Amino acid sequence: MPLQDVERFLSPTGRELHASAIRRMGTVAARRSDLISFAAGYPAPDLFPLDELREIAATLLSSGRDALQYGPTRGHGPLIDELAREMARRHVAVTSQDLLVTTGSQQGLDLVARVLVGPDDAVLVEAPTFTGAISAFGNARPRWIAGVRQDDHGIDLEDLERATARVRSHGARPKLLYVVPNFQNPTGKLMPQDRRHALLAWAERHDCLIVEDDPYGALYFEGEVEPDAIRPVKAADDAGPRAVLQARLRPGPDRGHAAARLRAVRGRRA
């Protein structure tokens, strides 16, 4: 008998899922070649390194069949080692054991939400923030996603304290704060280093974690910003670890990676 109503098989999470506004906008943009949409951060296609990708694919495929075989779940070993060196260049001290390769930042957010967020938790976010993050945290069904005001330099520390007290007074546990310190989406704000340090002190004081999303740290006009200004929160996380950093190699068809000293990243025996 044909099924009339497959919707009734959906789980509580499945019932809550909606197409994202960004994806809907992407459908409109794909239909119109004369439309330049700033709604989603689509990279300029001219910047996709087609020749390099062709060359890499040809080298890999001519090196035998192993390139198409399953590999380690955390990612290709030499790539992870290179990412650890890249993290060190950005002053983030992590070992290869702390890194996980993902298919973009969104998958990183989804994994982070799944392993960290529970039903009694509150997630604090900058208001406004990236819609994909709200979806990822919302799918983990926390008690509360609370917005924290921003001023010209990003998240407002006093409002962060107020929001922390507010969610506590409603019986929720402030579990993590999600921030985009470098060229925040959607405001483009760059958070000063002293405020990043203050966030770590806040996390220590309230026993919370910071999820730092850094897809845009490498994307700025040379000379406009000092490289030290984009140093991640995670770089100062020596007493912690309190911060989970996820970064993106570059926009387009590539990978993101997450750095965290979590058992879920390191594997059970680590």
Ligand X SMILES: Cc1ncc(COP(=O)(O)O)c(C=O)c1O
Q: Which of 90, 105, 208, 211 binds ligand X (CB under 6 A)?
A: 105
Give the nearest distance from C-beta 178 to ligand X in angstroms. Answer: 9
213: contact with ligand X by CB under 6 A: yes
Rounded Cα distance, 86 and 207, in Å: 29
| Beta carbons within 10 angstroms of residue 230's beta carbon | 21
**Which of these, 92, 140, 131, 87, lies nearest to 112 by C-alpha position?**
140
Instruction: Using CB under 6 A, count the residues that bind ligand X.
Output: 12
240: contact with ligand X by CB under 6 A: no
Give the nearest distance from C-beta 190 to ligand X in angstroms. Answer: 13
In the complex with ligand X, which residue's Cβ is closer, 105 or 150? 105
| Beta carbons within 10 angstroms of residue 85's beta carbon | 9
150: contact with ligand X by CB under 6 A: no
Q: Give the H or E element holding residue 145.
A: strand 144-148
Residue recorded with tokens 């910003």: 225
211: contact with ligand X by CB under 6 A: no
Give the range of 24-32, 62-70, 104-112, 158-166 binding ligand X by CB under 6 A.
104-112
Say how many Å lie between the first and final Cα of the chain, rounded.
50
101: contact with ligand X by CB under 6 A: no
The angle at the Cα of 243, spanning 237 to 247, to the nearest 5 degrees, equals 105
Q: Which of 106, 135, 150, 164 binds ligand X (CB under 6 A)?
A: 106
Q: Which of 142, 154, 181, 256 binds ligand X (CB under 6 A)?
A: 256
Task: Measure Cα distances from 235 to 101, 108, 213 in Å.
Answer: 19, 19, 13
Q: Which of 134, 248, 257, 259 binds ligand X (CB under 6 A)?
A: 248
The contact set with ligand X (CB under 6 A) reads 41, 104-106, 130, 132, 180, 185, 213, 215, 248, 256
